[in-house]
Structure 1
Amino acid sequence: MRRRTQRGQAIVLGSLSFLVLALMVTLSFNLSHALRQKMSLQQHSDAMAYSMAVLEARALNYYAVSNRAIAGSYVAMNSLHAYMAAASVTGEMLRAGESNFNKIAAAELAKCLACRCSCCKHAADAKKVANKFGKKAREYDRDARALEGDFRTAMEGLDLMVDNLHKSQAEVHARTAQAVKDGSSHGLAQLKEDTAPKASELSSAVGALNENEFNCAVDGKTCKGSVESTSNEARARVMTEIGNASRSAWPSNRTGTKHLHPEFLDEFRKIPDEGVYRISGHKGSAKTVVDKEAIYEGGQSGGNEGTTVAASEEGVLHQDQWEDILPGMFSSDYESAISSDSGGGDHDGDGDQHRGSHQFEGTNARALDGCASGGNCFMKYRANPDPERDWGQPRVYSYYTMQLSVGNAQQAPWELNNSRSVEFQHGAQGSGKLTVAAGEGMSLSKALVYYHRFGSGGWKEPPNLFAPFWRAKLHPFKPGEAARVLQEVGNSDAVPIAETEVPL
């Protein structure tokens, strides 16, 4: 009797053991499937955050390259004005020679009237030389005037190029902002199909955070939670001074007359037939300025928002000797200046070298959001001194959810039923319920778009939009940062967990 009882107990215990074993195997399958799905979801979230950060880094690098092209356009404008000033100064130098010999003729005539000597012939000869200088000056004026049309066309082309460069910047910004906002543009939808097709779309709240972060990296864009945008004048100064600093030596600081054509200098020397002349203080420069009288001033930390492109060339012509005139007796200044601004520009000089007007909008004539249809704007980095804001470098977030279970017992028999749970009765101790698979999973990721120049000390260079060294990387959350993102998406259940996590 006892043996039969023991055998019966063994059967019961064995049945219970098999039941527990079956539940453990089922639970193992459920956990394995859920973990695999959760890993896929997290990998997808990481890939999306990194990919969106890469899009932003590429956009910022494009701004840097195109900003250099914009600065190069202003350098080319300066060079154009320098060439026109150098071409125009030829007539002015010839008129200075005419002025000197008119002075000589007057001095000889005064001596002639006083003593009726050979000075009368000298006066006539000096007047003839002055007339030769004047005639040749008009010829060079005509040649310089013939360049005016090409000059205006080149200025219009360069100004249009600046407009088009900024239009492309604005388009890149709009498309990139849309991609990090919806998580599907720019091929991101294909990434979802490849890594986690069953995952949710990017949370709209997270997309709004991404768009705002990207806008905060550009000075002048609407942005919340960062420093205020600088003024139009302050942004204009940045491009103005960078353009001026990028000029080559010739347009920025030319001295002497070696850059003038040898044929002109030879003609200039031969007109008097004899005598000695010298030129002193010949200098020239071209610069983007707010005041065309400030061409020869150095770089400015304020006040120069670049409303005008101007060039000047000037010097003094001395007639040291001619026949029996006392050396160093007659001198005349000469100067040619040309400028372009919103009012059509100006030409300074005694000759009639130029006609018409040449427009220049300025280096940053409008607010950034007002440059959609035209205007010399550019993308400037919005620096933030707060290290908690990563010095203004944009952060990118991703938040996705996905069903971790199949939810269909026929397709996934290890889930036992559609509720993924087992209910049981345990005698007097009551009933119980065991959930063998999580229903839904959540993933949260962060990436950082950061600036780092190659080489030693590259970290010391502050972020800017004139050097294309923007990169992307996955980045750990700072204390409280994950909780703020979860709060934005409305996942209040996960907020307490995020608030207690230890940052990496």
Structure 2
Amino acid sequence: MKRAARGQALVLASLSLFLLSLMVVLSFNLSHALRMKTRLQQHSDAVAYSMAVLQARTLNYYAMSNRAIASTFVAMNTVHAYMSAASSTGDMMRAAQTDFYEVMGLEFAQCSPCPWPPSACLHCLHGLQALRIATKFGREGRNYDNKVKNTENTFNKAVKSLDVMMNTIHASQKLVGTELINALRDGNSSGLDQLRQINAPEASTVNSAVGGMNVAEFSCAIDGMVCALPGRPSNASNSTRGIEITEVANASRPDWTANRSYPLEWLNPQFSQDLMHNIQGEGATMIVSHSGSAKTVNSRGNGAFHNANAGNDGSMSGSHEHGDTFSFWKHGIGVATYSSEIESDANGGHHSPSGAHSGNHNGFGGANTKNLLACTMQGDCFMKFRADPDQKHDFGQPHVYSYITMPLRADAVTKAPWQLNTSATVKWDNGGTGTATINLAANEGAGLSKALVYYHRLGAWKEDPNMFNPFWRAKLHPFTAQEAAEVLTAAGQTDAAQMAAVPNLPL
């Protein structure tokens, strides 16, 4: 019998152990790569969401600071209301003076030559007395004009201080926006670098081109900033933005500022007593009608303050008063009108009656007189949301993208003994059939994420997005195929972009 062959089992066992070891190494490499890829995607999601949160907070800051700007407009209107109400006191006295000129005329009209004693000529005496009372009213009118004139310097300082406050608020809005733009561009500013240190120290920052897309999305959400994205609405005019903040400010006025009507309970009691009785003694002088209003307007005159003012872009802040007096004394009566008006603008303003006026009123630069980026400390601008009717653009609500890369293998074999070499490949020579190569793991992976900054007011979900209510929020949001392709193209991954653009391809 022939001797049996030996050693075959050893060869088979060695080959099996080699393949088993290769499978173990491959599984370790793949498991490590999958773990790193999971970390990378979670980090990318965290960065996109965190950038969206920063943007939502910025928009909420804009909303609150826009309210502060509108409140400052209201405060400025109220200051003008006080000043015009005070200015009207001198003209009220002059209206009473006119009343007594009329009384004098009626008394003299009834005066005729009469015999001695003079008591028979009462109408003539009453005419002279009415003239003296009219003179007293005129003197008191000048006295009240001077009192108002003495406060005008303080009034101008108050208006200028309020204007500076509005400019300062806008400057802070611009500063906050600049810091946000830096964070959207690199995903590493404003404390976002801590995410990378905690989640994935080996990860890159946000791709610069993708960061540029984030900046463009933010810019297109703010009316007045340059929007480089195609298909988005153009900027509204400076006047249109001025109309919006003016309407909000005027709608926010308290009742006394917006509508001062009869009876005038705000008049000083001593003034009222002097006007009604003290100066004339007998009879009375009464204010029988009054209308007063202070608001942000774009023209002078009674109609601008007391009627609807279409296209009001708020080039001046001011107030207007007018009313009627009625006097009766002895055998005569008189009726007259009074008024006062004051405005502050960039051209010196206006103040009447002139006796209460001593200088220019140029403390207000207008509601929205400049382009947004040129407005810091030089105009009273505000941040306005740029609405977009296109649902595909989420109605103008901004998107935030993240594209981050990270090595999926350890950078040194000592940190991962299962990595046979630094190339992540195994090659062997198969004799006459050639060589073979196995890739154990990809060297680098990429994380792609998207978040949406959206407006939602609880209980009023149909409310349009705006920058007067602080209800901006952030959430992770699914990609459309087109968006994913655009982000990947911006990141330089054209092959992946072509795959992402395939219809119905799950992302």
The AA in structure 2 aligned to 1:232 is N
Q: What is residue 329 of structure 2 aligned with on the other side?
A: 322
Aligned partner of 2:348 in structure 1 is 344
Q: CA deviation at 1:330?
A: 2.1
Relative to structure 1, is the Cα distance of residues 201 and 154 closer, same or farther in structure 2, using a 3 angstrom cutoff?
same
Please name the residue that 2:118 is paired with.
Answer: none
Partner of 1:372: 376
Question: Using the alignment, how far apart are the partners of 2:330 and 2:9 within structure 1?
Answer: 141
What is residue 250 of structure 2 aligned with on the other side? 244
Aligned to 1:98: 97
Whole-angstrom distance in 1 between the partners of 2:314 and 2:342: 15
Give the drift of 1:109: 2.4
User: How much does 1:201 deviate?
Assistant: 2.4
- 1:108 counterpart = 2:107: yes
1:290 aligns with 298
* Secondary structure, counterpart of 1:295 in structure 2: helix
Q: Residue deviations 1:319-369, cap 9 Å, x none?
A: 2x32123xxx421111111111111111122x5112101112111111112
Which piece of structure 1 moves more, 11-20 or 289-298?
Answer: 289-298
Conservation of the 8 A alpha-carbon contact between 2:96 and 2:134: yes
Structure 1 CA distance for aligned equivalents of residues 54 and 14 of structure 2? 59
Task: Indicate whether 1:159 and 2:166 are aligned.
Answer: no
State the match for 1:126 in structure 2.
130
Where 1:352 maps in the other structure, the secondary structure is: helix
Residue 480 (structure 2) aligns with: 478
Aligned in 2, Cα 1:13/1:284: closer, same or farther, shift over 3 Å? same
Contact 2:451–2:475 (8 Å) recurs in 1: yes
For 1:472, what is the secondary structure of its paired residue? strand
Matched, 1:273 2:285: no
3-state SS, counterpart of residue 216 of structure 2: helix
Alignment of 1:225-244 (within 5 A): 225=229, 226-244=232-250
Does structure 1 conserve the Cα–Cα contact (< 8 Å) formed by 2:221 and 2:397? yes
CA distance 1:92–1:407, shift in 2 (3 Å): closer
Whole-Å separation in 2 of the counterparts to 1:222 and 1:157: 31
Deviation at 1:423, TM superposition (A): 2.1
Q: Give SS of 1:112's match.
A: coil
> In structure 2, how many angstroms separate the alpha carbons of the residues matched to 1:232 and 1:324?
60
Give RMSD over aligned pairs. Answer: 1.9
Length-normalised TM-score, structure 1: 0.94
Residues of 2 paired with 1:410 and 1:76: CA distance?
69
Gaps of 5+ in 1: none
Output one character per residue of 1:126-175: Cα deviation in whole Å (capped at 9) or x when no partner: 11211221122122112111211111110010000011010111111111
Using the TM superposition, give the Cα deviation of residue 373 of structure 1 relative to its aligned residue in structure 2, in angstroms.
Answer: 4.0
Residue 310 (1) aligns with residue 318 (2): yes
When residues 407 and 434 of structure 1 are mapped into structure 2, their CA distance, relative to the original with a 3 A threshold, is: farther
Q: How many residues align?
A: 495
SS of the residue 1:414 aligns to: coil
1:358 aligns with 2:345: no
Match of 1:344, SS state, is coil
Aligned to 2:76: 77
Q: Structure 2 vs 1, CA of residues 503 and 423 (structure 1 numbering), >3 Å: closer, same or farther?
A: closer
2:409 counterpart residue number: 405
CA distance in 2, matches of 1:33, 1:147: 78
Corresponding letter in the other structure for 1:183: G
Classify the secondary structure of the residue corresponding to 1:92: helix
1:419 Cα shift?
Answer: 1.8
CA distance in 2, matches of 1:215, 1:99: 61
SS at match of 1:463: coil
Matched position secondary structure for 1:450: strand
- Counterpart code for 2:298: V
Matches of 2:134 and 2:10 in 1, distance apart? 133
Q: CA deviation at 1:292?
A: 2.0
Q: Given that residues 246 and 313 in structure 2 are in contact (C-alpha distance below 8 angstroms), is that contact kept between their aligned partners in structure 1?
A: yes
Following TM superposition, by how much is the alpha carbon of 1:43 offset from its aligned partner in structure 2, in angstroms? Answer: 1.3
**What amino acid is aligned across from residue 47 of structure 2 in structure 1?**
M
Q: 1:22 corresponds to which letter in structure 2? A: S
* Distance (Å, rounded) in 1 between the aligned partners of 2:399 and 2:114: 92
- Distance in 1, matches of 2:244 and 2:442, equals 56
Match of 1:261 in 2: 268
Counterpart of 1:210 (choices 202, 205, 214) is 214
Q: Secondary structure at the match of 2:340?
A: strand
- Which residue identity does 2:45 align to in structure 1? D
Secondary structure of 1:86's partner? helix
What residue is the counterpart of 1:25 in the other structure? 24
AA of the residue aligned to 2:291: K
> Residue 197 in 1 paired to residue 201 in 2?
yes
Match of 1:51 in 2: 50
Matched, 1:145 2:149: yes
How big is the shift at 1:111? 3.1
Shift of 1:182: 2.1
Q: Is the 8 A contact 2:170 2:377 kept in 1?
A: no
More off after superposition, 424-433 vs 198-207: 424-433
The answer to whether residue 490 in structure 2 is matched with residue 488 in structure 1 is yes
| Superimposed CA distance per residue, residues 265-291 of structure 1 (whole angstroms, 9 cap, x where no aligned partner) | 111112221124433321111111111
Distance 2:417 2:379 in 1: 66
Mapped partners of 2:411, 2:188: distance in 1: 27
SS in 1 for 2:461: helix
Secondary structure, aligned partner of 1:459: coil
Q: TM-score, normalised by structure 2?
A: 0.93
Distance 1:472 1:3 in 2: 80
> SS of the residue aligned with 2:110?
helix
SS in 2 for 1:461: coil
Contact persistence 1:278–1:317 (CA under 8 A): yes
